[in-house]
Amino acid sequence: MTTPHSPLPNPDVGAEGDDVIIRIRGLVNQFGEQRVHDGLDLDVRRGEILGVVGGSGTGKSVMMRSILGLRRPDAGEIEVLGIDARSPDPRLRREIERNTGVLFQDGALFSSLTVGENVQVPLKEYHGELPDSLRYELALLKVKLSGLPADAIDKLPSQLSGGMRKRAGLARALALDPPLLFLDEPTAGLDPIGAAAFDRLIRTLQQALGLTVFLITHDLDTLYAICDRIAVLADKKVVACAPIEDVERLDHPWVQEYFHGPRARAAQVTRARNLRDADAAGA
Ligand SMILES: Nc1ncnc2c1ncn2[C@@H]1O[C@H](COP(=O)(O)OP(=O)(O)OP(=O)(O)O)[C@@H](O)[C@H]1O
């Protein structure tokens, strides 16, 4: 699959032997006259953090919604954990839902519920048989796992900072121990230190829990710090899906502008420094 600009096609698609957890083929999404995706292919491998980038309006969120079954595509195939995401069968839909955690951009917490009650929403839906005290304990575990202090569990979202609300959203996304985690702009609105801490948290949780992470971001620091591969959306398709070092070299105008501007250089310097520090700490 090549594009007029792309010497680096989406090389993994169809590769033999990969443990693919999300498989998209020929995806088409259209709103009226506007075609957002036109024959988009993508494989997400088990255990990776896949960063999804692309200009504004290129259809990153629409792709995520299609994978989650929140939008029915106009054409194409999507398999999540081997299940057809387009299936109207509610049991299959539920199976996908039970195995995926989602952190939406705004956290999407219920404002009238405490953090603990928010985290317990999916637990109640899928494990209604559990006693209240155990559900509370499970919620507390997820709250702590997400890096919040234990007393945050009884607070309302409005009593938390933006960064803490993201962590509360993450705690809820992890409530059912899903193997697959979707993050939509997780560091948007955080200051650089808060964003770096959130990146580290995602990496730590991904490694500790063996998660596969589908991460939409504009944040170059996040891409350099924690993503195993980057999928680039442009021209209504995924024009490349590869480690960042390979994507940087892609001969595509948007990629060149994005990965070779001043912000990208700053992110590269930060990564080089972090790698050096990590080497020194390991030496
Ligand atoms: N429900 C809808 N009805 C009509 N058009 C829509 C709808 N949802 C998305 N679109 C259009 O689809 C295109 C892709 O939207 P999407 O939100 O996926 O972009 P994005 O890549 O996530 O952008 P951003 O980086 O700005 O968040 C946009 O032009 C948007 O206006």
CA-proximal residue: ligand 1, atom 10 (nearest):
31
- What integer pLDDT is reported at residue 272 of this predicted model? 66
Is the predicted pLDDT of residue 262 greater than 80, yes or no? Answer: no
Are 148 and 164 contacting, i.e. CB atoms less than 8 angstroms apart? yes
pLDDT-derived band at 127, boundaries 50, 70, 90: confident
pLDDT band at 279 (very low <50, low <70, confident <90, very high): low
Q: In what order do the strands lie in the sheet with 83-84?
A: 34-45, 20-31, 75-80, 83-84
Report pLDDT digits (tens) over 72-83: 999 999 999 999
Q: Which atom of ligand 1 is nearest to the CA of 218?
A: 25
Contacts of 23 (CB under 8 A, 6+ apart): 42, 43, 44, 77, 78, 79
The atom of ligand 1 lying closest to the CA of 59 is 18
Nearest CA to ligand 1 atom 4: 31
Among the residue ranges 37-41, 189-193, 206-210, the one predicted with the least confidence is 189-193
Pocket of ligand 1 (CB under 6 A): 31, 36, 54, 56-62
- pLDDT for 4 beyond 50: no
Q: Each residue of 75-126: pLDDT tens digit?
A: 999 999 999 988 888 898 889 999 999 998 876 889 999 999 999 999 998 8
Distance (Å) from CA 97 to ligand 1 centroid: 22
- Residue 150, φ and ψ in degrees, nearest 5: -60, -35
Q: How far is the CA of 6 from the centre of ligand 1 (A)?
A: 24
Report the pLDDT value the prediction gives residue 193, as an integer from 0 to 100. Answer: 86
Q: Which ligand 1 atom is nearest residue 71's CA?
A: 1
Residue 274 has pLDDT above 90, yes or no: no
User: Looking at ligand 1, which residue's alpha carbon is closest to its atom 17?
Assistant: 61
% of the chain surpassing 90 pLDDT: 65
Q: What 8-state DSSP symbol labels residue 182?
A: E
- 203: CB partners within 8 A, 6+ apart: 49, 225, 226
Does the pTM of the predicted model rise above 0.95? no
Backbone angles phi, psi at 28, to 5 degrees: -125, 125
Q: Report the nearest-CA residue for atom 3 of ligand 1.
A: 31
